[in-house]
Each structure stands twice: as C-alpha cells, then as structure tokens.
Amino acid sequence: MRVLGIDPGLAITGYAVLEDGDEDGSGDGSVAVLEAGVIRTPADEPLPQRLRTIFEEVETLIGEYRPDALAVEEVFFNQNVTTAMSVSQARGVVLLAGSRIERIESYTPLEVKRQICGYGRAKKTQMQAMVRRLLKLKELPKPDDAADALAVALCHLLRERSGLRAYALPRARRRR
C-alpha cells in the first residue's frame, strides 16, 4: 500500500509518500519513504494562482506515485480564523486533486500524535523523534511541513495495520 500524506497550507504544503511493503502482514514490516518535500507558493501571487500551483503539484505527485490512499491533516484551528480559512482553501484543492483516490482519510493533529506517539499532547520534537525512529531515518526531511506530511502518512499506515502491529516497523528502508 502506498500512502500520500499531505499537510496542507497556502504558503507551504508538505507532502510525503510512504510505501508499506508489508500490507499482508507476511513480510518484514518495512516501510519505505518514497518522497517527502514541500510545495511553496509566493505570498505576492494572487490566491487563485497559488491554489492552482498546489492543485497541480499534488496532481503531479498522484500521477507519479499512484497512491492507494491519501491522508490529509485536518486544519488545526488555534484562534486565528483567517489562517484557518486560508489553510482550508488549500485543503479544498488538495482533496479535489485526490478525489479519484479510493481511500481518502482526514486526521486531526491530535489523532496523528496519538497514533504515532501514543498520546495526543506530544510535543513536536517528540513526534519528530518518533517518526524518525519508526521509519529508521537518519534525519527527518526538512522543513517541518515535510516531516508533518510524513507523520500523517505514517499515521494512516499504522491505522491500516492492525492495532497490535502498530508500533512494529522493523527494518525500514529509505529509497531517498
């Protein structure tokens, strides 16, 4: 199973593609990071153009990696409505780009933290350390938005595996 994880944002959208080499449970449990990065849009561009860039880049990723599932982080609302609405617009075009993918799941930041760290109030540094460890990466992709996308993709992948296997990810490999 391939999962495309997206952490949407207007200025910067993180993405990551994970491949679970162990979907039938018979393999070695390895998970490969096929891709991780960010889509940036310049603040001085008109909003519709910025949304088009995000849409097209996500479409390109989907065309290239043909993921079986899309895992998108829910917009976290922390007092700033303007930001929440701006991120939601970006999230709308991400979901649109992925609308042909069979499985599309949304995860709140709380759910991602709970799935990966075991509790929803984990700090960012704890989360990042856990993602790095679970995926056996020497270092996390930069910037944080790419790592966040990796986390949401991993969250989905762990959910898809049985609860018992959730933390068992031996011998992860990394293609890039």
The site for a copy of itself (CB under 8 A) is made up of 46-49, 51-52, 55, 75, 77, 81, 84-86, 88-93, 95-96, 98-99, 101, 104, 106
Catalytic residue (choose from 35, 57, 111, 145): 145
CB of 59 or CB of 144, closer to a copy of itself: 59
Angle between helices 124-134 and 144-160 (to 10 degrees): 60
CB of 47 to a copy of itself, least distance (A): 6
CB of 81 or CB of 164, closer to a copy of itself: 81
Under 8 Å CB-to-CB from 51, ≥6 apart: which residues?
Answer: 10, 89, 90, 93
Catalytic residue (choose from 22, 73, 111, 148): 73
CB 156 within 8 A of CB 71: yes
End-to-end CA distance of the chain: 18
Residue 152: closest CA among 93, 84, 99, 91:
91
CB of 46 to a copy of itself, least distance (A): 7
User: Active-site positions?
Assistant: 7, 73, 145
